[in-house]
Structure 1
Amino acid sequence: MAASSYTASNLLAQVQGQTMYVPPLDSLYSHWIQGVNPLVEEIRPLVEELLVRYVPQKADLSHARASAYCLFAATWYPDCDLSRLQFVVIYAIFLFFWDDNMDREEGSSDQELTYDINLGTQYRSEAKAYVNWHLGFEAKGCPEPDYRNPQLEMFGMAAKILRGMADKDTLTRFRDEVFFFILGLSFPKALLDSQEMLDCWTEVNKNIIFENDLLSFKKEVADGATTTLIPVLMNEHCISMNEAVALSVAGLAECCKRFDMAAAALRKRAMEFDTNVQNGVGRLIRCFETMQSGCYNWSKKTDRYGVGPYRKEDGSLQFQL
């Protein structure tokens, strides 16, 4: 089939009913820092309160609970204190809901956003104004902007925690690098803007995309989504689903290797600065590792993707779409 002839409907028809095989991936992450924040149980009541308040339909609430947001936050940041972990989980739920609203997923407060460009633009504009106001970037005395989506209020809750701990410079940096607040780190601009830092960030983001699109594919097919990595590769290279899976796994493995190289280069670059910066870079790299390994461990366990029951003894996955 020519790449240009792919449509959402015929691609879904091609993969539905097929058996998908994902080889063991644990070894890719085994040499990186992993863990679960021991404060994970402390944030469960907060998460339940948020879900009950902001997910209007019972069926959607059930799906939201299955997403294991507590585990998500606790595996990404296994070492942060309770206030920062609360911030992480509120902010994470806000981001999940933001994305799900655009994709008509669980908890969507506006079902037409996916199909109406004007509504989507308004949604983004209102969110941007709300975020800026709650971070304190609007003129003093300016009233809170109007908004239709009540789920934005979760960002207001997260921002309140952030503003109680962070100065103006940190709030400004938050818009680009939120985890510096979580770690309590500060770096010279020359290091923040360095190629070594950019390379680390690039591989972290690519790693999360690779593994998430692999392990969420069963859910995406059930939802009728065709814009994730596997369908894109099938379309681009005119290959089968499992050939696309193999290509994705190979890409993930290369990404892990490139991250290790980028992390080594960042440590070397840090030697140009004092010991505080060098120690901070060590903590930062450990955080990069837990972000990647945490996302993987959450993805394979959460009921949001539902692949846990299909995990074999060797760590591989095999399931029918």
Structure 2
Amino acid sequence: MTINDTTTRFTGEGPILDSAYASRALSPGSEAIETPKHESNDDDLSSNSAIASKLKGKVLEIPKSLLTALQDRGWPAHEGDKDNWSDQQLTRYQRLYKDAIDFLQLVFPDSPMRLQKAIDHDYALFTFHFFPEFEDYEDSWTAGLWAIWLFTWDDEVDVNDGPSSLSEDFEIACAFRRKTVAQIKTFLGLDDDNNHAAETHTSDATYTSSGPMIAFEELSRRIVAKLNRDQRQRFYEQLALFIQATETEHAYHLSGHIFKTVEEMFPNVVLPSWVTDLDEMKTIEREQDYLISIYNDILSIKKEIANNSVNSMVPILYLSGVPWEEIVQRISKELLASGERFDQAAESLLQKTAGDAQLNESVRQVLHSIRTSCTGTIQYSLLSRRYNSIMKGNKDGGDVIRIVI
């Protein structure tokens, strides 16, 4: 799961992952192929469950150097162990953790099981690593609300987290998504026929929504107060794209198809539109999403296969005929290439803004923030109970993390 579900096309020759990304999420039913059979076996792999069954029990060996590949390029590193945190960092995290638990009780007032699951996922830890540069607590908590909404909303329809009325009924889930997009537009004050945003954002504690959308309603109060209409429109479009992408993923899962393709939110500075519209910035945003997707596909593989979800890089590479023992090597190669594309675009962007010292510094800050979000997501994945199966059995301090699927 990423904020934007950008996609990259598999090719039969040359680089296994094509860097020519789609500019929008695929529509359900497009770019789909029937599940192929692996070259090395004759088993019927025509369904997600059959593919998952074939992969269960396999061992994925991930060099620890792969997890630090971006830091090795000079990207920001994160203090993983709380014992290494400063008193200020620990205090901020503890406050975020308490506020997140209090708010989650509003999101799940009648479901102790879902509440506990959300608490275990520790969205405060995600916020702490995704936005570590925020010194003002209100900025941190705004980001925390975004994390709460993002994860809890996605889990409403995510087949990876087990069957529910939404994940098992595509039409109902699509209606839920359409309703969400409409609510987001209204809450962000972009629905000119609805004055809801102006009416509710003066209130401190009244909500018209339920479930995960309570978090977005509270988040939108802060966004409307901080961002202008053009900025809110851009934010809305990115979220709508993300929601569309979850529909695509859902369609493929339920149809028994697999993808033919794989694939700044609260900045302290705001860049002018001519900068954000540059090809370099679009490349940077796509590579950010792509890098996070690569790591997520590797680190969440056990959870996904357990729920018969095979629309990720490891299963697709395996089904395309790549020998199991070469999969991580192929993904590692593409990860490094993505990091290189990011850094080249970043350098070009800095050169194009070099004539304006203040703007150039703002660009540097945004680039640092984006890089931080990438490495922070990796750190969260390794520490959070949401992915706690990763480190089980990997306490020996060796150079390889073994994931038994």
Residues of 1 paired with 2:363 and 2:61: CA distance?
A: 37
The yes-or-no answer on 1:12 pairing with 2:52 is yes
Match of 1:27 among 54, 61, 68: 68
1:206 is matched by which residue type in structure 2?
Y
Tell me the equivalent position of 1:156. Answer: 217
Residues of 2 paired with 1:132 and 1:295: CA distance?
A: 27
2:159/2:307 contact within 8 Å kept:
no
Residues of 2 paired with 1:172 and 1:195: CA distance?
A: 19
Tell me the equivalent position of 1:317. Answer: 401
The yes-or-no answer on 1:264 pairing with 2:305 is no
Show the 5 A alignment for 1:107-186. Answer: 111-139=164-192, 142=195, 150-176=211-237, 179=264, 182-186=266-270
Cα distance, 1:258 vs. partner? Answer: 2.0
Residues of 1 paired with 2:379 and 2:238: CA distance?
A: 23
Residues of 2 paired with 1:205 and 1:296: CA distance?
A: 13
Cα distance, 1:279 vs. partner? Answer: 0.5
Cα distance, 1:176 vs. partner? Answer: 4.7
Which SS does the other structure have where 1:34 is aligned?
coil
Report the more deviating stretch, 13-22 or 161-170: 161-170
2:129/2:379 contact within 8 Å kept:
yes
Tell me the equivalent position of 1:246. Answer: 329
2:185/2:236 contact within 8 Å kept:
no
2:145/2:215 contact within 8 Å kept:
yes
Q: Point out where structure 2 has 5 or more consecutive residues left out of the alignment.
A: 1-35, 39-43, 80-87, 198-207, 240-263
Cα distance, 1:149 vs. partner? Answer: 5.5
Structure 1 pair 234–105 and aligned structure 2 pair: CA distance change class (3 A): closer
Residues of 2 paired with 1:148 and 1:263: CA distance?
A: 40
1:175 is matched by which residue type in structure 2?
Y
Residues of 1 paired with 2:358 and 2:100: CA distance?
A: 35
Match of 1:101 among 156, 160, 177: 156
Which SS does the other structure have where 1:238 is aligned?
coil
1:28 is matched by which residue type in structure 2?
A
Q: Deviations over 1:45-89 (max 9, x none)?
A: 221023233234433333322222111111111111211211111
Q: Deviations over 1:296-319 (max 9, x none)?
A: 111111111121234452453113
Residues of 1 paired with 2:325 and 2:101: CA distance?
A: 38
Cα distance, 1:143 vs. partner? Answer: 5.2
Which SS does the other structure have where 1:304 is aligned?
helix
TM-score, normalised to structure 2, is 0.71
Residues of 1 paired with 2:48 and 2:317: CA distance?
A: 14
Residues of 1 paired with 2:276 and 2:397: CA distance?
A: 42
Cα distance, 1:177 vs. partner? Answer: 6.6
Identify the structure with the greater helix proportion: 1
2:232 is matched by which residue type in structure 1?
L
Residues of 2 paired with 1:6 and 1:245: CA distance?
A: 24
- Give RMSD over aligned pairs: 2.8
The yes-or-no answer on 1:47 pairing with 2:100 is yes
Match of 2:391 among 287, 296, 308: 308
2:330 is matched by which residue type in structure 1?
L
Q: Deviations over 1:98-149 (max 9, x none)?
A: 221112466x9x92222323212210111111111111112365458xx985
Cα distance, 1:284 vs. partner? Answer: 0.8
Structure 1 pair 183–219 and aligned structure 2 pair: CA distance change class (3 A): same
Identity level (%): 20
Residues of 2 paired with 1:185 and 1:290: CA distance?
A: 15
Superposed structure 1 runs of 4+ greater than 6 Å apart = none
Report the more deviating stretch, 134-143 or 209-218: 134-143
Q: Point out where structure 1 has 5 or more consecutive residues left out of the alignment.
A: none
Residues of 2 paired with 1:315 and 1:221: CA distance?
A: 24
TM-score, normalised to structure 1, is 0.88
2:116 is matched by which residue type in structure 1?
S
Q: Deviations over 1:258-285 (max 9, x none)?
A: 22222212211222x4111100010011
1:26/1:315 contact within 8 Å kept:
no
1:90/1:154 contact within 8 Å kept:
yes
Cα distance, 1:192 vs. partner? Answer: 1.1
Report the more deviating stretch, 239-248 or 10-19: 239-248
Tell me the equivalent position of 2:360. Answer: 278
Residues of 2 paired with 1:276 and 1:83: CA distance?
A: 25
